[in-house]
Amino acid sequence: MSQDTDAPADPPAIYLREWRLYRGLTQAQVQKRFGWAEGRLSKLESGSVQPKPATLRMLARLYGCELNDLFESPPEIGDAGLFGVLQLQRLLAQARQDIAELKTLVIPRIEAIEGQLAQASTISVTAAQNADELATIFARYAARRPPAKSG
């Protein structure tokens, strides 16, 4: 004879992070899409907060899967057939876009900073030389000046 226990069962595993990555999305993109606060998706994905059914339905729609698919690991991209190929093409296009953005935004800024550092180094050397010359001028002036009278 079995007895019922009042111990709560562990909630089933939910593969939110895996499905998000499978679809090539960042946490920031998903949070922005739904207007969520930063960190909310991280809490859902880590299991520290249990998602409501409505949240799971929203995520399933976004990830292009059925609600029950979220309780299973997504298929390997190679197992996804044509969809997997299209997904890989989309990820590759995104990587190319990211690289182009790095080339146009980040690299010129790095070069500008390097130029400013080189200029600052030159300015520092010039400033040190000017300070030395000024000290020499003050020393010569002080040597020619008669001693102050006491009394």
Residues 6+ apart with CB under 8 A from 59: 16, 19, 30, 51, 70
Q: Is the pLDDT of residue 69 over 50?
A: yes
Per residue in 106-146, pLDDT (tens digit) is 788 888 888 888 888 777 787 888 878 878 887 887 777 76
8 Å CB contact between 48 and 58 = no
Q: Which residue has the higher pLDDT, 8 or 28?
A: 28
| Res 37: pLDDT | 93
How far apart, in Å, are the Cα atoms of 63 and each of 33, 53, 71, 88, 132?
A: 12, 15, 13, 15, 68
Q: Is the pLDDT of residue 59 over 90?
A: yes
Report the pLDDT averaged over residues 46-72: 92
Position 115, amino acid: G
| Res 115: pLDDT | 84
Q: Is the pLDDT of residue 84 over 70?
A: no
Per the structure block, which two tokens stand in for 127?
């400033």
Per the structure block, which two tokens stand in for 32?
């922005």
Tell me the C-alpha distance between 139 and 84, whole Å: 79
Helices (H) and strands (E) in the chain, counts: 6, 0
Per the structure block, which two tokens stand in for 27?
């946490």
What does the mean pLDDT of the chain come to?
81
Question: Vertex 85, ends 32 and 78: CA angle to 5°?
Answer: 105
Tell me the C-alpha distance between 41 and 71, whole Å: 16
